């Protein structure tokens, strides 16, 4: 089966993440997209407790038949590096073909990730470009990485969706309405558990 991997901190998950999963599935005929909230992100700190982030992912995925929650990184207990996740998923599920979905900006930093050669050899990367004017720059970077690492990287075209988890956290703190940015269940969860009301996040 062709499986998309959407890794992220999802603090909180938002409509941009869901849109990315939908476009990847449609454009590359992925049968499933697995959402992997990371327990200990390699590049961020002070994130909300993983149990909250998992619950919000569960609520957001309701009604999306192709989307599934995968707890591999969340339950790992150590920092989750993408190369290690993909290597382990390939071992656990040799019958599947994995497509790692990332924002195109990550393509410009992926060489500083842990073991990029391993990650780039073990799966196909789908790099989402959100801005048409940047498309040629992104294509140049794809060509560079493909040549250097013999990598499989494809351009994923998505509409521009100007939303990020950091914006949402700030909006909640300022008492602003986030209804258009997250699924209703996620909005309710954030309010019920009083997440993001202060700079210190829910533990
Ligand atoms: N609005 C969006 N449109 C398309 N892709 C997005 C969008 N927001 C995030 N992504 C992608 O989703 C993946 C997971 O992102 P993450 O969970 O870090 O969310 P984020 O909104 O970027 O968070 P933060 O604002 O806290 O950095 C990344 O590959 C990121 O590039
Ligand atoms: O493996 C790494 O070194 C690495 C470094 C930065 C980010 N990642 C992964 O990339 C995905 C999206 O990360 P980000 O920074 O866009 O939120 C998420 O699954 C992270 O675990 C992975």
**For the segment 76-102, what is each residue's pLDDT rounded down to a tens digit?**
888 999 999 999 999 999 999 999 999
Of the candidates 92, 74, 91, 3, the residue with the CA atom closest to the CA atom of residue 36:
74
User: Does residue 42's CB lie within 6 angstroms of at least one atom of ligand 2?
Assistant: yes
- The domain locations on the chain are 2-163
**For the segment 2-50, what is each residue's pLDDT rounded down to a tens digit?**
999 999 999 999 999 999 999 999 999 999 999 999 998 888 888 999 9
Q: How far is the CA of 130 from the centre of ligand 2 (A)?
A: 18
pLDDT higher than threshold 50 for residue 203: no
Fold of 2-163: Rossmann fold (3.40.50)
Q: Which residues contact 3 (CB under 8 A, 6 or more apart)?
A: 30, 31, 32, 33, 34, 93, 96, 97, 98, 99
Atom of ligand 1 nearest to the CA of 167: 25
79: which 2 tokens? 């920092």
Residue whose CA is at the smallest distance from ligand 1 atom 23: 165
Residue whose CA is at the smallest distance from ligand 1 atom 16: 8
* pLDDT (mean) for 126-138: 83
Residue whose CA is at the smallest distance from ligand 1 atom 4: 16
The pTM (predicted TM-score) of the whole model is 0.95
């Amino acid at each position: 089966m062709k499986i998309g991997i959407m890794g992220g901190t999802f603090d909180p998950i938002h409509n941009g993440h869901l849109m990315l999963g939908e476009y990847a599935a449609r454009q590359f005929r992925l049968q499933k997209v697995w959402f992997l909230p990371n327990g200990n992100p390699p590049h961020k700190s002070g994130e909300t407790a993983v149990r909250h982030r998992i619950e919000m992912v569960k609520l957001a995925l309701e009604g999306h038949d192709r989307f599934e929650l995968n707890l591999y990184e969340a339950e790992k207990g150590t920092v989750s590096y993408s190369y290690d996740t993909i290597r382990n998923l390939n071992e656990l599920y040799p019958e599947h073909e994995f497509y790692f979905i990332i924002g195109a900006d990550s393509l410009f930093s992926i060489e500083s990730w842990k073991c990029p050669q391993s990650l780039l050899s073990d799966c196909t990367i789908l790099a989402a470009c959100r801005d048409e004017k940047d498309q040629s720059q992104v294509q140049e970077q794809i060509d560079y990485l493909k040549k250097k690492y013999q990598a499989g990287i494809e351009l994923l075209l998505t509409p521009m969706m100007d939303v990020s988890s950091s914006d949402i956290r700030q909006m909640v703190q300022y008492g602003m309405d986030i209804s258009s940015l997250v699924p209703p269940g996620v909005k309710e969860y954030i309010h019920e558990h009083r997440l993001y009301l202060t700079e210190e996040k829910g533990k």
